[in-house]
């Protein structure tokens, strides 16, 4: 019986810009944290599961306790909060379209 060993070559992460390295480190940190799942029903009746990290679940639990409702009920009610549109990102000005010339 022979064993098959797959060697994975590590990519040179030091070639990435510093902000990309920080982003990747943060992703790994987040993945390693304990996550909490909250099952709830959306306003349209859809069953949902929201994943919260430890910091979020503490704040979330405090809000639910303060309002005297369950965590699933808090999410159901939060789904009714209107979403505000943020200002669009600044874009480079575009050249005006050429108008057809009448002959």
6 versus 29: which is more confidently predicted? 29
DSSP string, 55-72: HHHHHHHHHHHHHT--HH
- Does residue 96 belong to any structural domain of this protein? no
pLDDT digits (tens, 9 = 90+) for 7-55: 566 667 778 889 999 999 998 988 888 889 999 999 899 999 999 988 8
Kindly list the distances between the CA atom of residue 36 and the CA atoms of 13, 31, 46, 56, 84, in Å, as whole numbers in the listed order: 31, 12, 19, 9, 27
pLDDT score of 48: 96
pTM assigned to the model: 0.56
pLDDT score of 99: 46
pLDDT digits (tens, 9 = 90+) for 66-88: 999 999 999 999 999 998 887 66
In the chain, how many domains are there? 1
- Does residue 90 belong to any structural domain of this protein? no
- Does residue 94 belong to any structural domain of this protein? no
Domain enclosing residue 75, as ranges: 35-82
Rounded to whole angstroms, how far apart are CA atoms 51 and 35? 6
pLDDT score of 79: 93
Least confident of 1-5, 61-65, 96-100: 96-100
* pLDDT confidence band for 1 (50 / 70 / 90): low
- Does residue 60 belong to any structural domain of this protein? yes
Rounded to whole angstroms, how far apart are CA atoms 31 and 23? 12
């Amino acid at each position: 019986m022979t064993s098959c060993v797959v060697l994975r070559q590590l990519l040179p992460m030091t070639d990435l810009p510093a902000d990309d390295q920080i982003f990747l480190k943060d992703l790994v940190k987040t993945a390693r944290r304990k996550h909490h799942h909250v099952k709830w029903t959306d306003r349209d009746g859809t069953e949902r599961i929201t994943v919260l990290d430890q910091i979020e679940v503490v704040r979330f639990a405090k809000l639910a306790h303060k309002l005297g409702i369950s965590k699933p009920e808090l999410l159901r009610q939060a789904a009714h909060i209107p979403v505000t549109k943020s200002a669009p990102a600044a874009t480079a000005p575009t050249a005006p379209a050429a108008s057809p010339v009448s002959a």
